[in-house]
């Protein structure tokens, strides 16, 4: 069930109607949303919904044990059970084949041929997201950051809440659980903001991301006849495709949740307007970067153990962050590049964002950071490391036959326009102006968006990129 499909909006309309009817009945609303969340997940994963139930039961029990004991050994053991169980499930379903192939490749360099059978383990959609979300709860209970949740139903809803279940944002229990017990009051602002975000998300995904996907896919197939110019266009296209695709999903998730009376944290804040790499990670996939910071980087020691250990912690965090995205050495390379950027930025003393420079200086800095980030999307998008080197080599193999097509020019215009918009505006201001704008203007805009979405969606709903993670 895709957010950009008619099936989802029929499903959501039914659920929203039930939620509004039960807005004064907290327990009944929780049961309805939990059932809806399991139906939503099962529509994408079938029997793999059992994995969510296993993680939910383990972490719920671990949280109760941690909160109910003052014995540090028992508390640590309960936390260890939660962390090991979650990472074992994630490790098997996401990385079993990767590690099997890696061991076989290493053995092959020594002349050993392992006759292992490819396990072909099915990857449950969204497992990386809900595993981190569920596991953060037990860590926070252990750290005494939050009180234990005594209702299994409320905790299960936190783990499986359908708007953000498949591709985030990754929520904290301290953010969501207090909302569950409140009587929901839906305001006019909630309705209009929710509708606005859903429409904006659909426009980003269907009109912009899916259009740019044509040029990105064409370039990353690595056809020998693809020109260097087309490879550059493909890189820019994918750079903005993944932004529009992922932030579009987040907009629809936040908008859907807002209409039901629940808040979901923002996940993007004009990432390609970043003035540095630390700044980029405060703007891109904010829920993941803050999770990695709070539960991995700080646990490793953060920046409290001297300069070189800080660099080590940054690099380890980004390497594991890369591996979180996918089971492949190309994702490890992606994480390594971001780790190297963060370390290099600190070495040069550029990790503190300064906005006092002139407009030209800031634009040059943004442009450099943007292109460094764009280059990291090559290993992220390529199928393996061999394709990465092939793509990079092809980008600089210009010939006399290079020609810019009309479609390629349009793709570049879309990318350039999006980049200028991120540089020149505060994304929240246009949103606030929209909410206070004239009704006829808004109705005309919604109509234009509806037409554009219907026309662009003629080939059917396309999956979101982050479903594979």
For position 119, what pLDDT does the model report?
Answer: 61
CA distance 62 to 55: 10
Structure tokens at 226: 């693809």
CA angle 392, 394, 399 (to 5 degrees): 145
- SS3 call for 306: coil
Beta carbons within 10 angstroms of residue 238's beta carbon: 26
For position 348, what pLDDT does the model report?
Answer: 86
Residue of 113, 285, 325, 338 marked active site: 325
Q: Where are the alpha helices (DSSP H) in 264-328?
A: 277-281, 286-292, 307-325
Average pLDDT over residues 107-115: 69
Output the CA–CA distances (angstroms, integers) from residue 211 to 42, 149, 321, 407, 423, in the order listed.
29, 44, 28, 10, 22
Output the CA–CA distances (angstroms, integers) from residue 86 to 67, 161, 432, in the order listed.
19, 18, 41
For position 134, what pLDDT does the model report?
Answer: 94
Please confirm, yes or no, whether 325 is among the known catalytic residues: yes
> How high does pLDDT run on average in the chain?
89
Confidence category of residue 428, pLDDT binned at 50, 70, 90: low
pLDDT at 12 over 90: yes
Q: Where are the alpha helices (DSSP H) in 116-187?
A: 127-142, 152-160, 173-180
CA distance 354 to 359: 12
pLDDT at 378 over 70: yes
Q: Is 346 left (phi over 0), alpha (psi -120 to 50) or beta?
A: alpha
Confidence category of residue 212, pLDDT binned at 50, 70, 90: very high
Secondary structure string (H, E, C) spanning 77-126: HHHHHHHHHHHHHHHHHHHHHHHHHHHHHHHHHCCCCCCCCCCCCCCCCC
How many contiguous H segments (helices) and E segments (strands) does the chain have?
Answer: 19, 0
157, with CB counted inside 10 A (0-12, 13-18, 19+), is: buried
CA distance 3 to 6: 8
394 with 382: CB under 8 angstroms? Answer: no
Structure tokens at 427: 């994304």
- Any idea how long the chain is? 469
pLDDT tens for each residue of 37-90:
999 999 877 788 899 999 999 999 999 999 998 999 999 999 999 999 999 999
Residues of the chain with pLDDT > 90, as a percent, come to 63
For position 116, what pLDDT does the model report?
Answer: 58
CA distance 59 to 337: 34
Considering only 172-186, 224-238, 243-257, which range has the smallest mean pLDDT? 172-186
Q: What is the pTM of this model?
A: 0.93
pLDDT tens for each residue of 131-171:
999 999 999 999 999 999 999 999 999 999 999 999 889 99
Confidence category of residue 97, pLDDT binned at 50, 70, 90: confident
């Amino acid at each position: 069930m895709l957010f950009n499909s008619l099936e989802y909006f029929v499903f959501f309309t039914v659920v929203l109607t039930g939620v509004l009817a039960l807005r004064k009945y907290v327990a009944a609303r929780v049961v309805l949303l939990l059932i809806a969340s399991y139906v939503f997940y099962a529509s994408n994963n079938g029997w793999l919904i059992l994995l969510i139930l296993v993680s939910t039961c383990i972490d719920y029990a671990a949280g109760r044990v941690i909160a109910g004991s003052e014995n540090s050994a028992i508390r640590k053991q309960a936390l260890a059970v939660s962390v090991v169980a979650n990472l074992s499930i994630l490790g098997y379903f996401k990385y079993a084949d990767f590690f099997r192939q890696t061991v076989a490749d290493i053995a092959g360099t020594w002349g050993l041929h392992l006759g292992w059978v490819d396990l072909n383990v099915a990857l449950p959609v969204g497992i990386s997201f809900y595993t981190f979300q569920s596991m953060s709860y037990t860590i926070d209970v252990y750290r005494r950051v939050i009180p234990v949740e005594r209702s299994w139903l409320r905790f299960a809803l936190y783990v499986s809440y359908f708007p953000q279940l498949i591709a985030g944002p990754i929520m904290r229990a301290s953010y969501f659980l207090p909302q569950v017990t409140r009587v929901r009051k839906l305001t006019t602002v909630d309705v209009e903001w929710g509708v606005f975000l859903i429409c904006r998300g659909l426009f980003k995904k269907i009109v912009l991301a899916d259009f740019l996907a044509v040029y990105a896919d064409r370039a990353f197939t690595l056809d020998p006849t693809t020109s260097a110019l087309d490879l550059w266009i493909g890189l820019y296209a994918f750079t903005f495709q993944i932004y529009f695709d992922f932030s579009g999903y987040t907009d629809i998730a936040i908008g859907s949740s807002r209409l039901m009376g629940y808040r979901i944290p923002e996940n993007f804040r004009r990432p390609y307007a970043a003035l540095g790499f630390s700044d980029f990670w405060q703007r891109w996939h904010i829920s993941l970067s803050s999770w990695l910071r709070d539960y991995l980087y700080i646990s490793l020691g953060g920046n409290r153990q001297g300069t070189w250990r800080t660099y080590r912690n940054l690099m380890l965090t980004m390497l594991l962050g890369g591996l979180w995205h996918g089971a492949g050495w190309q994702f490890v390379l992606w994480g390594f590049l971001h780790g190297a950027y963060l370390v290099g930025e600190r070495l040069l003393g550029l990790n503190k964002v300064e906005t006092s420079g002139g407009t030209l200086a800031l634009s040059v800095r943004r442009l450099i950071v943007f292109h460094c980030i764009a280059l990291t999307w090559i290993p992220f998008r390529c199928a393996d490391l061999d394709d990465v080197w092939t793509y990079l080599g092809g980008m600089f193999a210009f010939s006399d036959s290079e020609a810019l097509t009309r479609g390629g020019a349009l793709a570049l215009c879309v990318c350039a326009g999006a980049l200028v918009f991120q540089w020149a505006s505060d994304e929240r201001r246009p949103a606030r102006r929209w909410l206070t704008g004239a009704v006829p203007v808004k109705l005309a805009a919604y109509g234009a968006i509806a037409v554009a979405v219907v026309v662009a969606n003629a080939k059917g709903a396309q999956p979101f990129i982050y479903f594979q993670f």
